[in-house]
Each structure stands twice: as C-alpha cells, then as structure tokens.
Amino acid sequence: MIGYTCVGTNDLEKAVHFYGELLSLLNAKAFFKSDRGVGWGVSADKPMFSVMKPFDGQAATVGNGSMVAIAAADPEQVKALHAKALALGAKDEGAPGPRGGNFYGAYFRDMDGNKLAVFCMSA
C-alpha cells in the first residue's frame, strides 16, 4: 500500500550521509538522486524512503505525531539499526525492546528532528 515515504531536511548533504549509511544495513540503494533529495529502496517494487529539501523552499519542520517506521528482519537488526543511527548522530527516543505483543522496536530522531522507528514482529 505505501509507495514511498519522505522526511524533510535542512542539510541535505548531512542527511544523505546519515541515511545512506543507516539504510545500507538493510542493503538499500539509492533509486533516485536530485538536487533536492535522494530516495533509497531494496527493490523497485517495494516502498522507498526519501529525504528531501522542501519543494516550497521553506525550512523543513518536524510534524507533531509524524513518524516513519522502518521494517527490520529480527530484533538483532532492530538493535543494529538503532545503534548505527545513534552512532551517526541521531537522538535516542526509545531503546530497542518489546513494546507489547510481538512488536519489537526502537525509536530515534535524525539531525533534523524527524522521528523514526525501527521494528520487527518477533515470535
């Protein structure tokens, strides 16, 4: 159902480095690049994640209640992605762990303040 997601940035170079390094842990590659942003994915038929400078030329801002969730294969990959995000300069918003039922997740904010989750459904 989801085709792609997009978060805004005020420092495209820094954001492209951050997400390029982070998403490489999922074997994602850049599917498009422009002077306004980059989009990564694992295949052309799967949802893509992108980071862009806002089209209207105004500053990128954080949506209150907005969050993008990145699917991981298992709890170990959730931990690895969360640790990598923090090592790249993200702010911790919730350490990896069970969140009820079979949901295992972790949360962080990138350098622009965008909130992301990394999760898997575990047995």
pLDDT, the chain, mean: 96
Beta carbons within 8 Å of 46's beta carbon, 6+ residues apart: none
Contact yes or no for 63/109 (Cβ under 8 A): no
Question: pLDDT tens, 6-34?
Answer: 999 999 999 999 999 999 999 999 999 99
The span from the first CA to the last CA of the chain, in angstroms, equals: 24
Q: Strand pairing of 115-121 and 68-71?
A: parallel
pLDDT for residue 1: 82
Compute the average pLDDT of residues 99-108. 96
- What are the chain's domains? 4-53+65-121 (3.10.180.10)
pLDDT for residue 122: 83
